[in-house]
Structure 1
Amino acid sequence: MTNGPNHGLLPHHQAAPAPMWYQPMPAAPYAMPPEADGWDLLRRIWRRKGLVLAITVLVVALAAAVVVAMPSRYTADTRVLVGVQDPNVLNVQSVLKAISPDDSTIRSEAYIVASRSMAREVAYRLALDTSPQFNPDLAPEPTWLDLLHPGYLLATVKGGVDYVASAIGLTDEGDAPSARGATETEDEHQRYIRQTIESRLLDGLTVEPLNRSHVLNISAEFEDPALSARIANSFARVYVERQLVEKRKANLKANQWLKAQVADLQAKVSESERAVETYRQKHDLLSTRSETLIGQQLAALNQALIAAEKSRTEAQANLEQAKGLADGSLDVENLPGVLQSPLILMLRGKQADLAREAADLAAKYTAKHPKRRHIQAQLRDLDSKIGAEITRIRGGLRHQLQIATEQRDRVASQLESLKARMGTANEEQVKLRQLERQADADRNMLEQLLQRTAETSHQDDLLKPDAEIISHAAVPVSPSFPPDKLIIVVAVLGGLGLGVLIALLVEKLDQTFRTSEEIEEYTGLTTLAVLPQVKRGRSRPLTHVIDNPNSVYANAVRMLTARLSFDRGSKQLPSIVMFTSTVPGEGKSHTSCSLAQSAALDGKKAVLVDLDWRQPTQHLNFDQMNDVGMLDILRDEASLEQALYHDPESGADVLFAGRNRGRETLSVSLERLRLVLQRLATQYDLVVLDTPPLVVTPEMQFLAQIADTVVFNVRWGSTTRQAVTSELKKLLQAGADMAGVVLSQVDLSQYNKYSYDDGGYLRHRHLVREAY
């Protein structure tokens, strides 16, 4: 603030220097205690526990209403064992083969049970055409609950789609019962009713294999529990009975066919056997039980030829081994039995002994020593004897080979001669074999058919179905649909989840200030005080500091006074303290009044100046008339002494706003206002200015430059962060000396849910009660 002219109003007052121009620096984020990081989300949810509980109760109530409105359905289960084996009394498996109980077969049988033909038979047996649940002609008019049922809506949409498809020719008339016209005949109507009953019956039927067993589980789910059990049992009985009927039909058909084939084959077998005997006698083809005489002789010669060839091969092999023994390539231990002569074995043994003796002498004597020469002579003599014996054996083997070769040639010659004889009879044999094969085939076929005929004739009484009902359906006592417990549990969990999401969304959308930490984080300014909300029923806001000096509110006002003194580096209050806010109704008038009263009660000379000319409130706080005030002083219609009001209870002086004369009020001299305020600063220890909100009047920037310090009032949980930071930016750009922010009208019962650290002072319930 620059020095200005005195005009005789301030003989001794020196204006304070103007504050430096600066931009608000972003404050460091509030450092929450370590335990707050983990509990922050839970704190947010706990703050909105009422909302979460309300949403949960609403969702559960809706779920309960849906459960009550939905019709109950009962499920009855029948179990059928597939693949039961018949007793093996007669072997008719080739005619009537039983079901093989593999997985694919079990699934196929499940489709058979859930077929329309089965449903048609069950509907006929149970007379379901008389039930309103199945016959659409007997169904009552749907209620509004039925109209809202998902199944009814789905059926209505499906019927409309079928009607449109039939109208444009996408389906055949016979395949779209829902597209019936006005010219529908009685037969077409009955067919529509029958198909509708079958469809509704199959819609409530479920057939599936039980785990990995061969058991089919037939489940029927309908509104009537007794009817559900009857339907499940009827499907099982119809399935078992149909299997038995089909087996009997197949058995009867097979029996009739077998009897006709037996009669034909008997005549054919007789004719074939006569033809075989006639041809055999005509061509003199005598035979034993299995073949002709020539064939038997040929077989014997073949066996003899094989034996002769084997003898020759063995002789040839023995001769080759004898040659190997002669040239020394074959060891005597490896000789076959025919070549292991005792003489050769003896000579080989002596030869081995002499060889060891020669080896010993060679280690002692030279080659010309008489002993060594004698040993060598003995070895040569043994070699000559062994060679002579081998030559004799080779001669005998060569003679054996010659004899075996001659025997083989003789047998081969006889075989060729017999083959030539047999070639002349081949043509007759071929024809004979054809006749025999035909007769054998006819005979075998006749025997098999006779056996099958005998079996099928006695099988009818032993036929059993391949399935057996192992568990009949009992009438269920409790509904299976809707699952009320599951729906309620899901509704509770879903309601809690939805409530938590909405609570977090509400917390996210809450852009107001709830704690002093948020103020410091978003504005970069210090929170001077947290003023609780004072209810008007217990005491007037004007006298609350006086009537309750030990209340939380009074202590908070004294904390504001101390912070204003300490923040300036001294224990003295600034001369001129300006209070302002973003919008009206944020409690700045109440705060400024309480500060002036508290300072006066502490022995300081304080004056409260109401500069909110458009909406003055201080005269109402003191129950006075707004006849004389600052506007009258500025218009030279009253002196300062005439306009001042002295509060007898607190000892503070008050300068009301004065009478507002419309446009004339807007033309007041701001320079004269500055002089009046400077004069008050010379006469009082503390001058408290109650100014209008920033969004109301543009004079605030001028007043901010006059004041020694500015206190910005923010209402708890009301003013948005964007509005506060925007107006604070304007004050800072105007050069205001910002002391900090006062968080007013705080609900202490809710404040502790937001604040992480307030020193514990505001958390005591008895202090909270005193604030009111």
Structure 2
Amino acid sequence: MSLASVPVAALPRAAEPAPDAALRIDLTALLSILGRNRLLIAATLATALLGGLMVTLLISPRYVATASIQIDQEADRVLEGAEVQPQAGYADADRFLQTQADVLRSRTLAIRVAQRLKLFGDPAFFHAMEAAAPQEAPTTGETARSRDATLRLLQEQLAAALPRNSRVARIAFESTDAALAARIANAYADEFIAANLQRKFDSSAYARDFLSRQLAAAKLRLEDSERALTHYARAARLIRTADTGEGSHAGIPGSVTAASLVQLNGAANDARAARIAAEQKWRAISPVPVLNIPEVLGNQAVERLLEQRAAGAAELQRERARHLSEHPSVRQLEFQQAELDRQVSTLATAIRSSIHDQYRDALGRERALAAQVEGLKQATLAEQDRGVRYAILAREADTNRTLYDGLLQRYKELSAAAGINANNLSIVDRAEPPLAPSSPKLALNLLVALTLGLILAGATVLVREQFDDAVRAPDEVEGKLGLPLLGAIPRVQDIAAEVVRPRSPAGEAYNALRSALVHASPHGLPRTLLVTSSQPGEGKSTTSYAIAAGLARLDRRVVLVDLDLRRPSLHRMLELPNDCGVSDVLARQARLESALQDSRALGLAVLTAGAVAPNPAELLGSASMAEMMAALVERFETIVLDAPPVLGLADAPTLAAQAEATVFVVEAGRRSRGATKDALRRLRAGRAAILGLVLTKFDLRTAGMGHYRVGYYDYGEAEPLRQAAE
């Protein structure tokens, strides 16, 4: 049997993740992550809660007093036109209400409130607002600086809210003095209503005076525009027969010439677009061989000819294989092929010529339409010259008439409604001094602190996990390394003693690994099995020893070979001499039979590494290595190869390419800084058939799986054994 008789495709590979695997949440893995980082999470949450408590205790209590005002879109009208300001339509209600909210927050209203309550320069007000009062000169009263500070505090602590589905506005003011907050909120409500009435009264008086002056000017403009329109129409001999626009003089009758120009111009644009498309098509195919033109390749006749030519070519090949080139049947088929080529070429040339004809036709149509459009342009311009001035004058007269009528009607309404002031604002609730502070809220602050702590802890754990390439638990193997898990070996104090006890936790784990290897591929257990790891000290040699011992207990002829010619360790583990071994056989200084040793206690043969060789890479890749492996295959049913770590050396990839299958060993919880993935990439680059991965030194508690109460491989023990997590 050859050393690589089992095809690589027959060996198990890591399962491809399902398309939605990234969307599923593995609760077990999540619990493991939380368990590993429980101290970090607890410290972060405790710090956040302590910070929230300290902030709450240091903040002074603040009170919010609220008054409410109803804002109607229209006030009650005694007379039509009583409202000087135009009412907002129902479609514009949101904008109207937002305008009222902006007025509430305006500086002007803040000045009225400050004057009403005499807050300018009041030290009690600044004390209640937790602000330092500006220093003033002894001889001056209210300074600009003091006024600005007072108005700024009023505007900053005011909250005006207008819900979308209600017309009741809430005016809220916040302060450390509950009574002062209520007085200011009520003052805002009163001054808002008073200011609204004052604006309406001022607007009415100003509007009447303004409209009287505008009416006189509008009347003069209307008379002048009507007179100018009449004189121009008589001089230009223009008679208006129909209305074509807004107003009574908006335009003149439509022109046939103009309509024809529009229609013909559209046709010219279409012709130009058609010519551009045809030209682009022609330019695209002109340099291309005729048989590569898409239109030629898509032609059904060409497709049939090409199919006939392909069939004829196949027939010609068969005839040439049976007869000489001068044979009549060969000559006949060659003539048919030439005729098919001529027909294809003729048809392709015709298709190409039709594309060029389409381009020339489109170019001619474009030029003809362009000439007709140019002629109509001149005729239309001449016709329009006489109507432009008339349309301008008619539009001006209509505008002046509309403006005059509107001003006259509005002036009459304002004159009738003078002295009537309707208000659309009314107080719903007056503010009362609040009994309980609005802030700080201990529960809310602690909840916010807890939320921020959870976010910070989650982000910290996420970053930590992203940069942590250690494999701690069996369920992380496929996700991080893309290999199937063959077995998980628990961490124990004396692994060598545990391996030979079949019912110990480690012994049971290696028995499970042995079963996985027996059923690892459709061909059963590989004849040559190589065991390696990315770094030293991960349990590679112990795993090799355990696999070989477990297979020997199945009455198989097994040999354990130590191929780590740089740092051999199997002879010390098995307490065997290392005088003669692999290096001596490969250097042809000893025969294989003399180097093999029997381990009667384990029931297997052992081939130690021998003396440390100065050139291990050359020996492992030599012809002597192939000969030794062939001899071992003939003598034993299973050869277990303890290979050196991959590291940056060529030993392991070289040996993995010679073995039927490779088992990769990873120490649980060991950070490799990318060495594990790099080792796997090197093994795959060397065409190694990797069966899967063995996770060694697995500790439940270190892996964050301490919530499991039953240890791995403890079931059925006659006497209590140490749990795998201890």
Which structure is larger by alpha-carbon Rg, 1 or 2? 1
Length-normalised TM-score, structure 2: 0.48
